[in-house]
């Protein structure tokens, strides 16, 4: 019920649609009762008194009644369904909005395919379920109540006999409903798993083909799909059981009514038309009852999916924006780490790190993989919060700076070139929404990207495909640099920006980076030490600790880890 009530709250803004649907469903349900009630007097008028006038108009009246019922049914279904769709649309917007603002830790803990499945598959189950549930509650409940009124009016004794079986339908419906809910939830989790396989396979299709993994991935997907089928099969089984069980149980009520009612007719305690009217109403009673039980099964599927959706909506971000956060100025570009400790789970990734980058300095972070370099720069942008210690920009702790101001103050060029299925101009414009064509052109020229852009079929309006698949690695990286140049932020983070490039592309990208780093406080993570020789400060990280710090020359003279790394790398290059 709490989940269902929460779903109904999403429908509150569309109350006028629900009211129209409720009026139409009231008329529809009321007509069922009226039809059952009129059977007895009509039979008497036509077959006992031989009223030919009523008999002549009866076919037209039946057609008009069914036309009116059809209009009521349409109005009810249309407005109730659209209200449900609009409500679920709001749910989908909210879960997407919540996904966007959650911390990176959340995304590290959850598979991308599973999150996508919740937004697409689970919300689709909600979308179908909410409309059927709410529509059924109005239309079938009103129909059931009106028909119950008729059968009690006709003969309360027979009515009690006929409804004695109804409580016996509740227990199996409840048991089946719980099984459907549990199975639906597990099935949706399995759907998320094979959605993740699909996402990973398609995004890594080059690796799949390079290592001839087609059969392996096909078998993995087929197994996940089979597991999903097994849960779906169970849900189909439980759904399919509900109607037969209901029919068997209600057959006892029908048999009892026929026996006792037939006895009344034969003993002249009840006329045949009255009994026929009662039988008609009773048969009609079981129809909305079966629909309500079916709607209950649908509700359980819907609630199972809703719980998974609300888990995301209710997730609490660990990174909380300060309500009265500071706004940084262009002068705030000195960065200081004070005794910083950080861990993802149990082991510390950063262990008592202290470091200062003065305004306008270029600080290079080098060292073996897994040393904590990327984690360190992630703390500047507050993708994570420190477990202990402080990260300062200017004189302000990053925890006390508003998120908007912090993000506007930092530009990032990552080793993973993130581009969108859009035009070249729009991909650059993400650095500064609302930027003019002239500003985009200047940024592209500074990133040495303008020439290859102009060689494209539509120039800056060329669509680059999914993740920039139509561009080379160097071209993609230069577009990312152009985006960062356009942002014009005083702090720059370069995380392995040239690691995946060939020598020619690297030289071109390095020229673009040199333009980008002018007058900015820059943190550079690099495995190619030749790119950071001229850094103002080189910091060597190993196992989360700073083991060395200084200029290229002084570190070579020390003969420590940096010196050994240079010997290994430059020796290989020679």
pLDDT tops 70 at residue 505 = no
Same domain, yes or no: 404 and 436:
yes
Report pLDDT digits (tens) over 195-216: 777 777 776 776 777 767 788 8
pLDDT tops 50 at residue 118 = yes
Tell me if residue 41 falls in helix, strand or coil.
helix
Same domain, yes or no: 426 and 389:
yes
Between 108 and 425, residue with greater pLDDT: 425
Give me the mean pLDDT over the 61-88 stretch: 81
Distance CA 353, CA 336 (A): 10
Domain count for the chain = 2
- For residue 329, is it within any domain? no
Between 534 and 497, residue with greater pLDDT: 534
Q: Give the pLDDT confidence score for residue 339 in this predicted structure.
A: 92
Q: Which residues contact 292 (CB under 8 A, 6 or more apart)?
A: 136, 137, 140, 141, 144
Q: Give the pLDDT confidence score for residue 533 in this predicted structure.
A: 82
- For residue 326, is it within any domain? no
Same domain, yes or no: 342 and 254:
no
Q: Give the pLDDT confidence score for residue 574 in this predicted structure.
A: 40
pLDDT tops 70 at residue 45 = no
Between 574 and 570, residue with greater pLDDT: 570
Token duo for residue 350:
């950063």
- DSSP sequence for 300-336: HHHHHHHHHHHHHHTPPPSSPPPTT-B---TT---EE
Please report which confidence band the pLDDT of residue 34 belongs to, taking 50, 70 and 90 as the band edges: low
Q: Give the pLDDT confidence score for residue 163 in this predicted structure.
A: 73
Buried b (16+ CB within 10 A) or exposed e, 88-111: beebbeebeebbeebbebbeeebb
Q: Give the pLDDT confidence score for residue 337 in this predicted structure.
A: 92
- For residue 318, is it within any domain? no
Same domain, yes or no: 309 and 371:
no
Distance CA 417, CA 478 (A): 9
Nearest to 290 by CA among 233, 234, 250, 238: 250
Among 163-172, 350-359, 548-557, 561-570, which stretch is predicted with the lowest mean pLDDT?
163-172
297 in Cβ contact with 180 (< 8 Å): yes
- For residue 240, is it within any domain? yes
Domain boundary among 249, 279, 313: 313
Portion of the chain with pLDDT greater than 90, in percent: 2
Give me the mean pLDDT over the 69-89 stretch: 83
pLDDT tops 60 at residue 144 = yes
Distance CA 512, CA 362 (A): 15
- DSSP sequence for 100-129: HHS-HHHHHHS-HHHHHHIIIIIHHHHHHH
Same domain, yes or no: 207 and 101:
yes
Portion of the chain with pLDDT greater than 70, in percent: 88
pLDDT tops 70 at residue 492 = yes
Provide the residue range defining the domain that includes 512: 335-573
Q: Give the pLDDT confidence score for residue 58 in this predicted structure.
A: 64
Same domain, yes or no: 118 and 233:
yes
Distance CA 287, CA 290 (A): 5
Domain of 460, CATH number, reads 3.40.50.300
- For residue 321, is it within any domain? no
Report pLDDT digits (tens) over 238-259: 777 777 777 777 777 778 777 8
Give me the mean pLDDT over the 11-17 stretch: 85
Same domain, yes or no: 349 and 439:
yes
Q: Give the pLDDT confidence score for residue 178 in this predicted structure.
A: 76
Same domain, yes or no: 368 and 254:
no
Buried b (16+ CB within 10 A) or exposed e, 141-171: bbbbebbbbbbbebbeebbebbbebbebbee
Domain of 126, CATH number, reads 1.20.1560.10
pLDDT tops 70 at residue 474 = yes
Q: Give the pLDDT confidence score for residue 573 in this predicted structure.
A: 44
Please report which confidence band the pLDDT of residue 467 belongs to, taking 50, 70 and 90 as the band edges: low
Same domain, yes or no: 277 and 424:
no
Most confident of 120-129, 184-193, 388-397, 416-425: 388-397
- For residue 106, is it within any domain? yes
Q: Give the pLDDT confidence score for residue 373 in this predicted structure.
A: 87
Tell me if residue 241 falls in helix, strand or coil.
helix
Q: Give the pLDDT confidence score for residue 501 in this predicted structure.
A: 58
Tell me if residue 365 falls in helix, strand or coil.
strand
Tell me if residue 145 falls in helix, strand or coil.
helix
- For residue 327, is it within any domain? no
Among 36-45, 82-91, 223-232, 397-406, which stretch is predicted with the lowest mean pLDDT?
36-45
Please report which confidence band the pLDDT of residue 527 belongs to, taking 50, 70 and 90 as the band edges: confident
Same domain, yes or no: 249 and 381:
no
Report pLDDT digits (tens) over 308-348: 888 888 888 778 887 788 888 888 888 999 999 998 877 88
- For residue 323, is it within any domain? no
Q: Give the pLDDT confidence score for residue 49 in this predicted structure.
A: 63
Domain boundary among 257, 282, 313: 313
Same domain, yes or no: 356 and 215:
no
Same domain, yes or no: 91 and 130:
yes
Q: Name the average pLDDT for the chain.
A: 79
């Amino acid at each position: 019920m709490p989940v269902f009530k929460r779903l109904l709250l999403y429908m509150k803004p569309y109350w006028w649609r629900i009211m129209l649907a409720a009026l139409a469903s009231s008329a529809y349900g009321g007509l069922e009762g009226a039809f059952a009630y009129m059977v007895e007097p009509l039979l008497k008028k036509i077959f006992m008194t031989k009223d030919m006038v009523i008999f002549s108009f009866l076919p037209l009246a039946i057609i008009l009644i069914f036309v009116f019922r059809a209009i009521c049914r349409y109005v009810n279904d249309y407005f109730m369904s659209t209200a449900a769709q609009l409500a679920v649309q709001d749910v989908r917007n909210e879960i997407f909005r919540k996904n966007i603002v959650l911390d990176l830790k959340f995304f590290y803990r959850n598979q991308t395919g599973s999150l996508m499945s919740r937004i697409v598959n689970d919300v689709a189950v909600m979308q179908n379920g909410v409309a059927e549930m709410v529509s059924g509650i109005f239309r079938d409940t009103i129909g059931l109540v009106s028909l119950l009124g008729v059968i009690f009016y006709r003969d309360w004794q027979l009515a009690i006999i006929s409804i004695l079986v109804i409580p016996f339908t509740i227990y199996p419906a409840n048991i089946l409903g719980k099984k459907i809910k549990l199975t639906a939830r597990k099935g949706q989790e399995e759907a998320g798993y094979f959605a993740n396989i699909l996402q990973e396979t398609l995004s890594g299709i080059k690796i799949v083909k390079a290592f001839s993994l087609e059969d392996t991935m096909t078998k993995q997907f087929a197994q996940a799909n089979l597991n999903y089928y097994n849960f779906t099969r169970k849900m189909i089984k439980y759904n399919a059981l509900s109607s037969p069980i209901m029919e068997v149980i209600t057959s006892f009520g029908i048999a009892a009514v026929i026996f006792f009612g037939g006895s009344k007719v034969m003993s002249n305690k009840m006329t045949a038309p009255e009994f026929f009217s009662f039988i008609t109403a009773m048969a009609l009673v079981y129809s909305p009852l079966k629909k309500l039980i079916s709607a209950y099964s649908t509700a359980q599927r819907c609630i199972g999916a809703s719980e998974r959706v609300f888990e995301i909506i209710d997730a609490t971000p660990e990174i909380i924006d300060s309500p009265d956060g500071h706004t940084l100025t262009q002068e705030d570009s000195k960065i200081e780490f004070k005794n910083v400790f950080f861990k993802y789970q149990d082991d510390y990734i950063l262990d008592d790190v202290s470091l200062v980058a003065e305004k306008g300095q270029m600080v290079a972070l080098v060292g073996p993989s897994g040393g904590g370099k990327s984690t360190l720069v992630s703390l500047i942008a507050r993708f994570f919060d420190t477990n202990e210690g402080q990260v300062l920009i200017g004189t302000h702790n990053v925890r006390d700076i508003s998120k908007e101001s912090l993000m506007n103050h930092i530009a990032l060029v990552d080793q993973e070139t993130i581009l969108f299925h859009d035009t070249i101009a729009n991909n650059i414009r993400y650095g500064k929404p609302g930027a003019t064509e002239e500003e985009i052109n200047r940024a592209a020229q500074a990133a040495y990207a303008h020439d290859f852009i102009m060689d494209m079929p539509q120039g800056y309006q060329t669509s680059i495909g999914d993740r920039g698949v139509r561009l080379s690695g160097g071209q993609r990286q230069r577009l990312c640099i152009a985006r960062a140049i356009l942002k014009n932020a005083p702090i720059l983070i370069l995380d392995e920006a040239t690691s995946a490039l060939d020598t020619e592309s690297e030289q071109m990208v390095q020229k673009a980076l040199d333009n980008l780093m002018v007058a900015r406080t820059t943190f550079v993570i690099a495995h190619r030490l030749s790119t950071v020789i001229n850094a103002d400060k080189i910091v060597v990280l190993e196992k989360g600790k700073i083991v060395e710090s200084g200029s290229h020359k002084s570190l070579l003279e020390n003969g420590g880890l940096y010196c050994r790394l240079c010997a290994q790398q430059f020796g290989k290059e020679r």
